[in-house]
Amino acid sequence: MITGNHAAATAAVLAGRANRSGRGFCSGVYPITPSTECMEFLCLQDIEKGHVVKVESEHSAMAVCIGASVSGARSFTTTAGNGLIYMAENVMVAAFLRLPVVMVVGNRAVGPPWNIWTDHSDSLALRDSGWIQIYCGNNQEVFDAVLIAFRIAEDHRVLMPVMVCQEGFVLSHTMALTEIADQTQVDQFLPQLNLPHRLAQTPRVVGSFTSSRMIEAHREQHHNAMRMAWDVYTEAQTDFEKTFDRRPPDPVVTYRTEDAELVLVSMGTIAETVNRVVDNLRDRGLRIGSVRVTMFRPFPFDALKKAFTGISRIAVIDRDISLGFGGVLWGEVRSLAQPGMVVQNYVSGLGGGDVRPEHVEQMVKDALERKTTGPSIFVGVGE
């Protein structure tokens, strides 16, 4: 029985130690609620050929990871909410330098108003930062995602950082039965990191100045590498299953979507609630299903399109808001809508608000009744 934070840190320690035959493990960390216990746990471990630097800010935490990673070490950090936003500049640098850093974000509302509870607005504000993003549904997924994140980040076809998102408190502080792994299994799953552009002794510049046309080439390469992540993830899933005897979730997880008239799309733990509502309402004869997006970047177009086959109504639940637009997930899902489809957005659960079954039922009722897509609807505000 461990919390999401301890699951994440345990996985990071195992992954760090697995690179002892390579250039080791080095991490920069800084505390922030609700990710503090992850960094604390990491700081208190004995990691062979590893070191955790307790820095003076999140911005520096990621800078340490950048320096360590560019020197060929495996690197990991964790943060949340305003900490992630403060770190943002170096978050983007880690991606644009194509460094395989792994970070666990304990999703938290970005203040003010100050609020330590969960919200996807922090990591989604860095949607375009060039990181792969995985959203977890339970503690086991957090543990597994950290290991699989290193695997895809360090794959030479991908070579970029991965953000593993877990909802603050809901996962980070909740203990659940979690299967962890042996060091020998992790050693087998994570071969030593070999960074092709490692800074060693050859005179050259990493992160150089470049012309307009060259920066386009860099972005195109990065974009194409991101699109490789689907295949690399699938391979990693299979290998993970062989090594650990369980399979991490697909980029899109469907639940009772066959013959559905309406599906509810969500990320993170909200899907658990939605699945329960689906069971209840199916018992009452409603043909509804649930779709959970676990990999948000690269965005799983094909898997979602497949999940939406034969569906005429989609309700998208966002635990985030792009002000002046609507839910971020909704914006992405909407791009897949066929003409005539209703793709309605429901914003709920910001700043840790409970998204309860009755809220989901309210969304289902509205989505089944409406003739056209309307503006985003806030559900449960001020309750």
Show the tokens assigned to 5: 């934070």
Applying CB under 8 A, which of residues 45, 57, 174, 188 lies at the interface with another protein? 57
Rounded to whole angstroms, how far apart are CA atoms 340 and 342?
7
Residue 52 is classified by DSSP as E
**Sequence-ordered list of residues with C-beta below 8 angstroms from that of 308, at least 6 positions apart, any chain:** 263, 291, 314, 336, 338
What residues have CB less than 8 Å from 228, skipping those under 6 apart?
A: 157, 158
Contact status: 146 vs another protein (CB under 8 A): no
3-state secondary structure of 318: strand
3-class secondary-structure state, position 24? coil
Those residues whose C-beta lies under 8 Å from the C-beta of residue 169, and which sit 6 or more positions away, are: 34, 116, 117, 118, 352
Regarding 60 and contact with another protein (CB under 8 A), the answer is yes
Count of residues of this chain found to bind another protein when the rule CB under 8 A is applied = 44
- Cα separation of 339 and 183, whole Å? 51
Rounded to the nearest whole angstrom, what is the least distance from the CB of residue 69 to another protein in the complex? 7
Q: How far apart are CA 158 and CA 255, in angstroms?
A: 29
- The nearer residue to another protein, 99 or 363, going by C-beta atoms, is 99
- Does residue 88 belong to the site contacting another protein (CB under 8 A)? no
The pattern of x and - marking residues 19 through 48 that bind another protein according to CB under 8 A reads: ----xx-x-x--------------------
Stretch that binds another protein, among 50-58, 113-121, 129-137, 152-160 (CB under 8 A): 50-58
Q: Is 72 in the site for another protein (CB under 8 A)?
A: yes
Kindly report the backbone phi and psi dihedral angles of residue 180, in degrees, each rounded to the nearest multiple of 5, phi listed first.
-100, -175
Q: Which of 3, 69, 82, 178 binds another protein (CB under 8 A)?
A: 69
Note whether 137 and 320 are within 8 A (CB): no
Q: Between 175 and 214, whose beta carbon lies closer to another protein?
A: 214
CB of 65 to another protein, least distance (A): 6
Contact flag: residue 73 with another protein (CB under 8 A) = yes
Instruction: Determine which residue in the list 46, 56, 259, 369 makes contact with another protein, applying CB under 8 A.
Output: 56
Q: Report the 10 Å Cβ neighbour count for 261.
A: 14
The amino acid at residue 154 is E
Using CB under 8 A as the binding rule, whether residue 183 contacts another protein is answered as: no
Q: What is the DSSP letter of 350?
A: G
Output the smallest distance, CB 30 to another protein, in A: 10
Query: What is the footprint of another protein within residues 100-139 (CB under 8 A)?
Result: none
Taking CB under 8 A as the rule, which mask of x and - marks residues 196-225 in contact with another protein? ---xxxxxxxxxxxxx--x-----------
290 counts as binding another protein under rule CB under 8 A:
no
- Alpha-carbon span 21 to 61, nearest angstrom: 24
Q: Which of 33, 59, 235, 361 binds another protein (CB under 8 A)?
A: 59
Binding site for another protein (CB under 8 A): 23-24, 26, 28, 49-51, 53-57, 59-61, 63-73, 75, 89-90, 93, 199-211, 214
